[in-house]
Amino acid sequence: MAFEVALICCGGVFIGLLALLVFYLFSVYNGLVSLRNNIDKAWANIDVLLKQRTDLIPNLVETVKGYMKYEKQVLTDITALRTSIMGAQGPQETATHSEAISAALKTIFAVSEKYPNLKANENFLKLQEQLSSMENQIADRREFYNDAVMLYNTRIKSVPDSIIAAMFHFTESEYFKAAEEEKKAVQVKMGG
Amino acid sequence: MAFSNLPAAIPCCCPTLFFLAGGLAAAGYGLKEYRLVKKIEDTPTSKIRSAAVGLVEIKGRARCKDILASPVSGVKCAYYHVSAEYLHRSKNSDNWITFYSDSSSKQFYMEDDTGKMLLDPAGGQVSIKPDFSSSGNLSGKALFGLIDIKQLDKKVLDFLEANPTIKAAFQQHSGTTIRVYEYYIEDGDELYALGTAEPIPGASSAIGNENLLLHKGRGEGYMLVSDSQESRIVGSRKTTALISLGAGLLMAAAGLLGVLLSLSVLAL
């Protein structure tokens, strides 16, 4: 009788431990899925702003081209960058082009100071305000996205989560940050 | 197995069944807290200006939408909570039992360097340190008025004078020690908040600023407002969660073993 009682107890403990292990594996897996979804959501939030900014560039070029007769190159560059960001693949490449667009926009707004008539143009002022607000929001969302990536990348490299991550092919995510070499390449292209 | 013995086993299993149920309840609480801790850890902080719809974590300062006055201290605030407990003495232990509590139901703003967002604390957890507390007796007398003991603070007595219904509730426990806590969020207090952001109906867009309302989401939604730093919230709640989960599982396992043992002994 004692043997049967011991057997029942051991069986109970074994089933309990097994249930705990399964629960733990599920919770780690679900946690990783949730972190990956956070990245996708954060990326979608940046992407929508980048698209909105891209859509405003032709309007800006159209508005300023009549005034900026001596800065045609900046306008050509920003139009080229607009085309290239639309074909960019992945966060890093997108970030490289996005940073170049931000720099070009800054140049346009700085140069506009030389043209009082342009500064008085209501359409230009509205576009400048919209684009500046978008730049701020992109910067905030970029920080949020990079935080989400950092949390995820740290988790998939930490033991024991790394074991589940390797089993279910959770791979490292890219930061929304321009690679230095690509940045230089885009700057060279911009300079002509 | 002689299952005919099963009814006889029920009274024998009762204490272990209570152990099992208590353990499961503690483990459930621990699990719920642990999930909240994971949400806090896994959610990056958003800037209010660019916060998006969904689960959002923000840090900033409280800003009043409607200026409220805390009921006991009369301090101007954005949110308040008051609770009163009496000391219940029994043979085995002394317990504090809450007999009165009240919270403000008004929404307030949270502001950071980039903008401000409306917060609705209704249904959520507002975890802040007490700003005022007082304990003592309602009359300051014990043993038929023969002995002087500590009386509740004057602010509490004034508050009760102005609210006869609440005073009646206090008078039911006049023979025991009462303690009163008041919590409030003042304009400018540093806060941490985690909740579900949704567009305010009729707002111009679904992006940050004053177009979103942070509240407790539907289903298993979260809404936590705290005056502690994120690392402190995570640290203290994780400890509570793990202790509850571990102790609960151990209790449940012990209870389950007890049930199995009782059943097997009776069956054999």
Task: Kindly list the averaged pLDDT for each block of 10 residues, start to end, along chain A of length 192.
Answer: 72 81 89 92 90 89 80 83 86 88 88 84 87 88 92 92 91 83 53 43
- Transcribe chain A into DSSP letters: -HHHHHHHHHHHHHHHHHHHHHHHHHHHHHHHHHHHHHHHHHHHHHHHHHHHHHHHHHHHHHHHTTT-TT-HHHHHHHHHHHHHHHT--HHHHHHHHHHHHHHHHHHHHHHGGG-HHHHT-HHHHHHHHHHHHHHHHHHHHHHHHHHHHHHHHHHHHSTTHHHHHHHTT-PPPPPS---HHHHHHHHHHHH-
Q: Which of A9, A144, A148 sits opposite B257 (nearest CB)?
A: A9
CB within 8 Å: B54 and A41? yes
Domain boundaries, given as residue ranges, for chain A: 32-191
CB within 8 Å: B256 and A9? no
- Residues from chain A that touch B49, judged by Cβ atoms under 8 A, are 136-137, 140
- Residues from chain B that touch A140, judged by Cβ atoms under 8 A, are 46-47, 49-50, 114
Let me know if A16 is exposed, middle or buried by CB neighbors in 10 A (0-12, 13-18, 19+). Answer: middle
Longest CA–CA span in chain B (Å) reads 73
Q: Is B53 in CB contact (< 8 Å) with chain A?
A: no
CB within 8 Å: A5 and B268? yes
The nearest CA of chain A is from the CA of B114 a distance in Å of 9
Q: Which of B41, B50, B268 sits opposite A140 (nearest CB)?
A: B50
Closest to A60 measured CA to CA, from A11, A1, A131, A2: A131
Write down the pLDDT at residue A122: 86
- Residues from chain A that touch B257, judged by Cβ atoms under 8 A, are 9, 12-13
Q: Give the position of tokens 């043992």.
A: B261
Whether the Cβ atoms of residue B204 and residue B111 lie closer than 8 Å to each other: no
CB within 8 Å: A45 and B256? no
Q: What is the pLDDT of residues A40-71, one digit of tens each?
A: 999 998 999 999 999 988 888 888 888 877 77
Write down the pLDDT at residue B10: 61
Write down the pLDDT at residue B1: 46
The nearest CA of chain B is from the CA of A104 a distance in Å of 23
Write down the pLDDT at residue B127: 94
- How far is C-alpha B135 from the geometric centre of its chain's CA atoms? 20
CB within 8 Å: A151 and B52? no
Write down the pLDDT at residue B61: 96
CB within 8 Å: A151 and B42? yes
Write down the pLDDT at residue A190: 45
Q: Which of B249, B253, B264 sits opposite A5 (nearest CB)?
A: B264
The nearest CA of chain A is from the CA of B122 a distance in Å of 26
Q: Which of A4, A42, A143 sits opposite B264 (nearest CB)?
A: A4
What is the CATH number assigned to the segment(s) A32-191?
Answer: 1.20.1440.20
pLDDT along chain B (268 residues), means of 10: 55 77 92 91 90 91 94 94 91 88 93 92 92 86 67 90 91 88 95 92 61 84 93 94 91 83 72
Closest to A88 measured CA to CA, from A73, A77, A101: A101
Q: Is B209 in CB contact (< 8 Å) with chain A?
A: no
Write down the pLDDT at residue A12: 74
Interface test with A, best of B43, B49, B50 (most A CBs within 10 A): B50
Give the C-alpha separation, A134 to B125, whole Å: 34
The nearest CA of chain B is from the CA of A168 a distance in Å of 19
CB pairs under 8 A between A and B: 60
Q: Is A107 in CB contact (< 8 Å) with chain B?
A: no
Residue of B nearest to A38 (CA): B43
Q: Is A31 in CB contact (< 8 Å) with chain B?
A: yes
Q: Is B242 in CB contact (< 8 Å) with chain A?
A: no
Write down the pLDDT at residue A188: 44
